[in-house]
Structure 1
Amino acid sequence: MGSALKKLPKKSGTFLSELVPFTNALFRERIREQFAALCYRVRADSGRFEVLLVTSRDSGRWIIPKGWPMAGKKPHEVAAIEAFEEAGVRGKAKKKPLGYFTYLKTLDNGQRVPCCVQVHLLNVKESCDVFREKGQRLTEWVSCVEAARRVREPELKGLFLSMQRVVFS
């Protein structure tokens, strides 16, 4: 990787200001691909539409379940697997992506690399008490507006704010 992808301080300002040093890398270097599940439910008791947020293991920021491509798995299948491993939820993931967002992934070696995340809606039908990353993350069901307020990535904020219209259309 090029020198533009060096480690930055953890708290360097807004998300967009953090992207500035990576401008060249975003256009010239390989952007890694990930697949995510934007998990939602309609509560039976109140009819309230909610989305699921999880915290990242490293920084504790609010995100959605996501992961790297898996051999032999389609993107929506990877999204469903990640939703179960990270949040203990199962459901039907849509094959067609809802959209995409970009972010800077901090690798184990401290290097930060640009990632493009393909997001699939996942209609949650079951929550499990035992799952791979239980105890490593917090999970919380919130409104789309609250989810947009909590996440850092502008494109992900936009997906939250538009998704309720997409789900019910």
Structure 2
Amino acid sequence: MRMSPEAKVRMRNTERTEYRYYNDMGENRGHCTWGAGILAHRGVCTPEELTRVVSAAEVNAEFDRRVREAEATIHRNIHVALNQAQFDALVSFTYNAGPDGSADTYALINKNDFKGAGANMQKFIRVKVKTKTGTKKVIARGLVTRRAQESAPFLKSDADASAASN
């Protein structure tokens, strides 16, 4: 199973595309990111990184590579059947939260607790930001919408999910 072309386009459209390195939560906040929501590393970009530009070809190639990586992670970690909508949503979640961030969701799916998995996905809406006195977690508004979309195929009733796969 692979991510559907339609879901890949939708996911790409949820990612802000920048042809440079930037901090994903604004100036001196969040994580160093580039291209289509591609994490360069945790923590803010260095001044040198903030001057780095990337081409559309580099962004497209890395986006595709990371999608394939997320698909492979799901194939390695999920041992129950998923319908296409669930697989697509899980690729998007894994792309954004990473394999470690997705581990609890995978465990719930493997227990056939799809609603629990959907509820767990919805918890991933906060990010750490630096403050004058340390760090704090804040709600990232964009993640609220994204998690609602990603969790929806898991929160549907079994009958709805079965119908969606046909």
Q: Same fold (TM over 0.5)?
A: no
Which structure would you say has the larger RCO, counting Cα contacts within 8 Å and 6 or more residues apart? 1
Give the structure with the higher percent strand.
1
TM-score by length of structure 2 reads 0.31
